[in-house]
Amino acid sequence: MKLYYSSTSPYVRKCLIAAHELGLADRIELAPVVTMPTAHSPELMRDNPLCKLPTLVTDEGQALYDSRVVCEYLNDQGGGALIPAGGGKWAALVDQSLADGILDAALLMRYEVVLRPAERQWPAWRETQEEKACSALGQFERAVGGWPADRLDIGVIALASALSYLDLRFPDLDWRGPHPGLAAWFADFDQRPSMRATVLKA
Amino acid sequence: MKLYYSSTSPYVRKCLIAAHELGLADRIELAPVVTMPTAHSPELMRDNPLCKLPTLVTDEGQALYDSRVVCEYLNDQGGGALIPAGGGKWAALVDQSLADGILDAALLMRYEVVLRPAERQWPAWRETQEEKACSALGQFERAVGGWPADRLDIGVIALASALSYLDLRFPDLDWRGPHPGLAAWFADFDQRPSMRATVLKA
């Protein structure tokens, strides 16, 4: 399998954490590409018209995207339970949505200040996205105390990826301060080999 | 089940088309809310910290989001095959991602011109999003000739919802001109009772 890859993409990291947890990492060839909303990679474009990371090309040549589809495919390939079959399925999928929501907001915040010319930036937009991210973090903080210590599913993998992206791009946000339970959970989860093998690098 | 609802939300429409196709529409109570990225609904916020539509509250009181999770839940509840179990699964899910990518781009284009003050708008951002949408439309145009005439799965439901949103908000885009095959497919699909029952209204 070929995975279009960037070391700064939190959605790529989500897939890689899943691959490591499923024992599939050594079956994935990484294809580094540089892509931004305003700068396309022609190679990636051929496999994904949206030109977004991650995109996985299977051994049969089928291009799969976005990260949710890739993670579900990897879970199937690995015979895993990252998407639980039973009652925990909907909680795991909703937590994935919530964590992806943090990331979507963080990426919009990032694009606002990195891509957009300074005079075209609109502080209210950044604030709105930050509110969404913080509201979602608050929900996780309220929930984390009720999780099994060894919880491992696509919801927490997405969450770990989102938190690591906040650390990479928004260190001043200090998400740990108001969310001590989440901070303690992440400190523990972040020691997993799947996390150590996939650290985001700017 | 309660579905937070807006008559202009294409992601809500995706869920409603699915519900109608699955015979579940009369089990869903619509809860109209007004929400925009910059104007929150406190009621919706209680069930979804991201304050995004759609959000479904099940009869057991569990809040489900986003549209992909809601559609998968509805498909399970209705015992449907909108997410095929066999080999068509990945094609359906990738097409859903591609169609959702059109919608994400269209929504960012819409927010750019409707929410953001004129002097803060950045034409290159709008153009970039329009390119993504058009690139995805081109992919569908190349593929549509190979589809069964009666294709019905979450991929085409997402696509129909995306095209209807372009008609609602971007009539000047004239997506039909360069995509005659897709236009013919949509003209046919749009006659389904599930489409007639869920028309977007500004």
Question: Using the beta-carbon criterion (under 8 Å), do A69 and B90 form an inter-chain contact?
Answer: yes
- Round to whole Å and give the CA distance between B202 and B195: 16
Per DSSP, helices labelled H in A55-88 are 67-77
Q: What is the mean pLDDT of residues A12-25?
A: 98
B112 token code pair: 């750019």
Joined tokens for residue B12: 């809500």
Which residue from A49, A68, A115 is facing B98, i.e. has the nearest CB? A49
pLDDT at B27: 98
Q: Is the preceding omega at residue A84 within 30 degrees of 0, hence cis?
A: no
Position B141 pLDDT exceeds 90 = yes
The DSSP secondary structure of B5-73, one letter per residue, reads: E-TT-HHHHHHHHHHHHTT-GGG-EEEE---BTTB--HHHHHH-TT--S--EE-TTS-EE-SHHHHHHH
Give the pLDDT of residue A57.
98
The pLDDT of residue A160 is: 98
Question: Can you state the angle between helices B67-77 and B89-114, rounded to 10 degrees?
Answer: 140
Identify all chain A residues contacting B86, using CB atoms and an 8 Å cutoff: none
Tell which wins on pLDDT, B34 or A120: A120
Residue A165 has pLDDT above 90, yes or no: yes
pLDDT reading at A122 higher than 80: yes
Q: Best residue in A66, A141, A153 to probe B by mutation, most B CBs within 10 Å?
A: A66
| Cα–Cα–Cα angle for A92, A25, A165, rounded to 5 degrees | 55
Location of structure tokens 């013919």: B184
pLDDT of amino acid B67: 98
Would you state the pLDDT for residue B39?
74
Residues in B closer than 8 angstroms to A66, CB to CB, are 97, 101
Which pair of structure tokens corresponds to residue A177? 């301060």
Cα separation, A18 vs A2, whole angstroms: 15
Model pLDDT, residue A90: 97
State pLDDT tens for residues A124-157: 999 999 999 999 999 999 999 999 999 999 999 9
CB neighbour list of residue B4: distance below 8 Å, 6 or more residues apart? B12, B31, B33, B41, B43, B44, B47, B48, B53, B54, B55, B56, B57
Interface contact A50-B101, CB threshold 8 A: yes
Q: pLDDT grade, residue B36 (50/70/90)? A: confident
Q: Least CA distance to B74: which residue of chain A?
A: A90
- Which pair of structure tokens corresponds to residue B82? 């909108």
pLDDT, residue B192, reads 98
Average pLDDT over residues B50-71: 97
Tokens of residue B20, six digits:
């109608």
> What gap in Å lies between CA A139 and CA A141, rounded to an integer?
5
Task: Say whether pLDDT at A174 is over 80.
Answer: yes
Residue B118 C-alpha, separation from nearest chain A C-alpha, in angstroms: 9
| Residue B87 DSSP SS3 | coil
Read off the pLDDT of residues B13-26 as tens digits, 9 standing for 90 and up. Answer: 999 999 999 999 99
Helix ranges (H only) for A8-88 are 10-21, 42-47, 67-77
User: Which chain B residues touch A if contact means CB-CB below 8 Å?
Assistant: 37-38, 45, 49-52, 62-66, 68-69, 72-73, 90-91, 93-94, 97-98, 101, 105, 115-117, 119-122, 124-125, 128-129, 132, 135-136, 138-139
Average pLDDT, chain A: 96
The CATH number given to B89-192 is 1.20.1050.10
Identical topology for domains A2-77 and A89-192 = no
The size of the A-B interface in CB pairs under 8 A is: 104
Q: Which residues of A touch B (CB under 8 A)?
A: 37-38, 45, 49-52, 62-66, 68-69, 72-73, 90-91, 93-94, 97-98, 100-101, 105, 115-117, 119-122, 124-125, 128-129, 132, 135-136, 138-139
In the predicted structure, residue A37 carries a pLDDT above the cut 80: no
- A101-111 pLDDT per residue, tens: 999 999 999 99
Looking at residues A39-47, what average pLDDT do you find?
89
Q: How many degrees, rounded to 5, is the angle at CA B90 between CA A102 and CA B153? A: 95
| pLDDT for residue A17 is more than 90 | yes
**Rounded distance between C-alpha atoms, residue B30 and residue B28, angstroms:** 6
pLDDT digits (tens, 9 = 90+) for A76-94: 999 989 999 887 999 999 9
Q: What is the pLDDT of residue A79?
A: 92
Reported as a single tens digit per residue, the pLDDT across B80-121 is 899 998 879 999 999 999 999 999 999 999 999 999 999 999
Nearest CA in chain B to A116: B122
Q: List CB contacts (< 8 A) between A68 and chain B.
A: 68, 97
Q: Residues B152-199: pLDDT tens digits?
A: 999 999 999 999 999 999 999 999 999 999 999 999 999 999 999 999
Confidence category of residue A40, pLDDT binned at 50, 70, 90:
confident
Left if phi > 0, otherwise alpha if psi is -120 to 50, otherwise beta: which for B44? alpha
Nearest CA among A51, A53, A32 for reference residue B138: A51
Which pLDDT tens digit goes with each residue over B65-90?
Answer: 999 999 999 999 999 899 998 879 99
Cα–Cα dist B28/B187, whole Å: 27
CB contact under 8 A, B49 and A139: yes
Q: Which of B169, B174, B173 is nearest to B202 (CA)?
A: B169
- Chosen from B50, B129, B153 to mutate, greatest number of chain A CBs within 10 A: B50
Question: Are A115 and B125 an interchain contact pair (Cβ–Cβ within 8 Å)?
Answer: yes
B contact test, residue of A90, A142, A159 with most B CBs within 10 A: A90
- Kindly provide the ipTM of the predicted complex, given to two decimals: 0.97
Q: Which two tokens stand for residue A41?
A: 């990679």
A2-77, which class in CATH? alpha beta
Domain ranges of chain B: 2-77, 89-192
**Higher pLDDT, residue A149 or A98:** A98
Could you tell me which residues come within 8 angstroms of residue B175 by beta carbon, excluding any fewer than 6 positions away?
B134, B137, B163, B166, B182, B183
Residue B197's pLDDT is what?
98
